[in-house]
């Protein structure tokens, strides 16, 4: 089965067909996500927080994203795989940015890359697209700038900031981005952006009017169900509790001798056993 083309997403928008994007960071999660029918998998730099235990996405490196993207690519055959460009992989110089984006496709097996920012990344987006690298944009609360924003605050709340965001979206579209993530912005602003560009918008904390939605695997499945839920996330399962309770049951059975039983053990034929006992 061949991979969905990035151009399909624009067709879906034109048809009014909405779609889900979900993050995955390793072979088993990507396999499950694709089996469930998700058409776009993001190997997000959110892996820094949800997989590697960092406080933000800032410490994530190119090697981290390439490594995780490769595992996701191996597990899938149909979904579009978007490799997230981590902090400082595209900000320092355009040549570095091109090489790093190329690594995600060549070494990671990604279909496309995602990078954060508006007008200032437009020349880079144009160059990547011209060189055959599909690019997904990312506007609003761009987590790599969390230190600049002074925390995880809703973006685009003033008329000037909202107008800037609309211009950024148009500029990304014009540069050739095939989709744009809108993160943590007011729903009416997300609707305006969605109506003003022909490429799909993919929201997270941006309300119901985007063409697609994206969620983080661990948030969706309640793996960190001992932490306060995020306003923009919906838990469709409580896997944290499911996993803890399965592991507790295992510990209990090992301690009490309930596991393994004969069903989990390997037998030896009687004559070999008898010979062995005699020889000893
Ligand atoms: O890294 C990530 O998971 C993301 C999404 C939240 C859009 O950038």
Q: DSSP letter for 179, please.
A: E
> Which member of 11, 116, 183, 249 is catalytic?
183
User: Are the CB atoms for 137 and 178 separated by under 8 Å?
Assistant: no
The minimum-distance atom of ligand 1 relative to the CA of 114 is 8
The minimum-distance atom of ligand 1 relative to the CA of 57 is 1
The two tokens of residue 97 are: 């940015």
User: Are the CB atoms for 239 and 223 separated by under 8 Å?
Assistant: yes
Distance from Cα 272 to the centre of ligand 1, integer Å: 59
Give, using CA atoms, the residue closest to atom 8 of ligand 1: 44
Architecture of domain 6-237: Alpha-Beta Barrel (3.20)
The two tokens of residue 84 are: 């997230």
5 preceded by a cis bond (ω within 30 of 0): no
Q: Where are the domains of the chain?
A: 6-237, 242-279
Measured distance CA(113)–CA(164) in Å, rounded: 23
User: Are the CB atoms for 224 and 243 separated by under 8 Å?
Assistant: no
- For residue 233, give Cα distances in angstroms to 26, 124, 187: 21, 31, 15
The owner of tokens 């985007």 is 210
- Is the distance from the beta carbon of residue 204 to the nearest atom of ligand 1 less than 6 Å? yes
The pLDDT profile of the chain, 280 residues, written as one tens digit per residue, is 799 999 999 999 999 999 999 999 999 999 999 999 999 999 999 999 999 999 999 999 999 999 999 999 999 999 999 999 999 999 999 999 999 999 999 999 999 999 999 999 999 999 999 999 999 999 999 888 888 887 788 999 999 999 999 999 999 999 999 999 999 999 999 999 999 999 999 999 999 999 999 999 999 999 999 998 899 999 999 999 999 999 999 999 999 999 999 999 999 999 999 999 998 7
Q: The pTM is what? A: 0.95
- For residue 81, give Cα distances in angstroms to 132, 149, 204, 219: 15, 29, 18, 20
């Amino acid at each position: 089965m061949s991979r969905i083309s990035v151009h399909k997403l624009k067709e879906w928008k034109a048809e009014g067909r909405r779609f889900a994007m979900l993050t995955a960071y390793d072979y088993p999660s990507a396999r499950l996500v694709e089996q469930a029918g998700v058409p776009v998998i993001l190997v997000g730099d959110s892996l820094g927080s949800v997989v590697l235990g960092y406080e933000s996405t800032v410490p994530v490196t190119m090697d981290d994203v390439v490594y995780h993207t490769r595992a996701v690519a191996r597990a899938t055959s149909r979904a579009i795989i978007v490799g997230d460009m981590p902090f400082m992989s595209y900000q320092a110089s355009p040549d570095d940015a091109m090489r790093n984006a190329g690594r995600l496709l060549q070494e990671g097996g990604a279909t496309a890359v995602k990078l954060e920012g508006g007008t200032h990344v437009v020349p880079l987006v144009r160059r990547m697209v011209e060189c055959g690298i599909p690019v997904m944009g990312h506007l609003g609360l761009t987590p790599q700038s969390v230190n600049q924003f002074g925390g995880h605050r809703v973006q685009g709340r003033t008329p000037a900031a909202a107008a800037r965001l609309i211009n950024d979206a148009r500029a990304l579209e014009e540069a050739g981005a095939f989709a744009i993530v809108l993160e943590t912005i007011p729903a009416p602003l997300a609707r305006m952006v969605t109506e003003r560009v022909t490429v799909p918008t993919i929201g997270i904390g941006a309300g119901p009017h985007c063409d697609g939605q994206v969620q983080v695997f661990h948030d969706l499945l309640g793996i960190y169900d001992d932490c306060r839920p995020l306003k923009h996330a919906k838990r469709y399962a409580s896997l944290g509790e499911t996993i803890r309770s399965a592991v507790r049951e295992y510990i209990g059975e090992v301690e009490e001798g309930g596991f393994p039983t004969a069903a989990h053990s390997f037998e030896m034929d009687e004559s070999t056993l008898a010979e062995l006992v005699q020889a000893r």
